[in-house]
Amino acid sequence: MRSFLAAHLGVPVVAAQVQGGGFTPGIAVRLDLGGEWVFVKAIPVGHPLAAKYRTEAATAVRLPRQVPAPRLRWHGDQAGWVVLIFDDVAGTHPDLSPGSPDIGITVAALSAMTEILTPTPAGDLPSTSATRGRWLRGWAELSQSLPDDLGDWERRHLPVLADLESRWLGGADGSTLVHGDIRPDNLLITSAGTVMVVDWAQPGNGAAWQDITDLIPHLIMAGHTPQAAETTLTGVPAWEAVPPDVITGYAAAYAGYWTRMARRPDPPGVPHLRAYQRRASQAALAWTKYRTS
C-alpha cells in the first residue's frame, strides 16, 4: 500500500500507520512524507461507498476555517481510486467513560462547532430528514418480519416503538450543517486538548441538536447510565431547546436502526460492524427505556 501511494501520489512515503478506527473498507492511513505527516483516505472509484468519499471531499472544502476539522489538502481520482489527502491530526479518540476529562471538552467543542455551522455554509445539501431520515429507523421494518431473537421488551413494545421512531423527524429541520456521524472514532483529541472532527461523509442541513445528541448512546456504551449521559449535555443550548418527545423519538430510532442492522449479514471486508451494532443497540434500548418509563 505504501508503494502504491508513493507511486500514485508522487511523494516518498517514509512511514505509514494504518488507521483502523472506522468501518469503511477503504484505505485510511497516516503517512510520514519525511518530517511532515498527512492523512490519506482512498477507495476504488467503482466501490459502492465511493460516493461517500466524494461527499466528504465536497463537504470538507466548504467548512469554515473555525470548524475544528483537518484541512483537506487535495482530492481527486488517482489510478482508479478516489483519494482525499488531509492535514494529519496526532490525537486519540475521546474516552467517554464516566469521569473522563475528555467528555467536557468534547461536549464544549461540538456545541461551539454547531454554532459556527449555523447558518449552514452548504445550503444546497439535502436536509437531515432526507439523508438520516432514510436509515435512522427500524421498528416498523422489524414489525413486518419479526426476528426470532428479538428481546421480550422490544417484542411487547413494538407498536409503541414503531410509532415513536419517526417523531424525531418533526424536530429535525433547521439551518445548521449537521455532521451526521458523531461518534468517538470520528473525533480526535490532540495533546493540546483540541477536539478535531473528522469523516464528514454524511452531512445534511437540519436542527442543531442532532450532532451533540449523538454522543448519548456512545456515553452509555462507555458506561454511563442514560440519565448520567444526558446530564453531560446540561447547559448546551441546542440540547436544552429540543422538545422532549423529539429526543425520545430519536432514541427509539437509533435503537431500531441498530437492532435492525445488527441482524444483517456481515458486509464484505467489515468484520466487526455487526458486533458493534449489537452493543450500540443495547445502549440505545437502555436510553429508550429510560425515556419511556
Residue 215 partner contact from ligand ADP, Mg ion, none using kind-dependent CB cut-offs of 5 to 8 Å = none
Task: Count other Cβ atoms within 10 Å, centred on residue 60.
Answer: 22
Residue 199 interacting with Mg ion (CB under 5 A): yes
Cα–chain-centroid distance for residue 7?
A: 32
Q: For residues 50 and 77, is the Cβ–Cβ distance under 8 A?
A: no
Cα–chain-centroid distance for residue 173?
A: 18
Give residue number: closest CB to ligand ADP: 22
For residue 31, which of 6, 68, 56 has the smallest C-alpha distance? 6
| # of chain residues touching Mg ion (CB under 5 A) | 3
How far apart are alpha carbons 293 and 41 in whole angstroms? Answer: 44
Residue 246 three-state SS: helix
The stretch near ligand ADP (CB under 6 A) out of 17-25, 106-114, 262-270, 271-279 is 17-25
The residue (of 19 and 225) whose beta carbon lies closer to ligand ADP is 19
Residue 185 interacting with ligand ADP (CB under 6 A): yes
- The site map against ligand ADP for 30-59 (x = CB under 6 A) is x--------x-x------------------
Residue 199 interacting with ligand ADP (CB under 6 A): yes
Residue 21 interacting with ligand ADP (CB under 6 A): yes
Interface residue with ligand ADP, options 14, 22, 32, 150 (CB under 6 A):
22
How far apart are alpha carbons 211 and 79 in whole angstroms? Answer: 35
Site for ligand ADP in 87-116 (CB under 6 A): 88-89
Task: State in angstroms the smallest separation of the CB of 201 from ligand ADP.
Answer: 6
Grid coordinates given for 157? 413494545
Cα dihedral across residues 159, 128, 119, 284: positive or negative? positive
Residue 186 interacting with Mg ion (CB under 5 A): yes
The residue (of 198 and 221) whose beta carbon lies closer to ligand ADP is 198
Task: State in angstroms the smallest separation of the CB of 17 from Mg ion.
Answer: 16
3-state SS of 187-225 is: EEEECCCCEEECCCCCCEEECCHHHHHCHHHHHHHCCCC
Residues that bind Mg ion (CB under 5 A): 22, 186, 199
Residues that bind ligand ADP (CB under 6 A): 19, 21-22, 24, 28, 30, 39, 41, 70, 86, 88-89, 185-186, 198-199
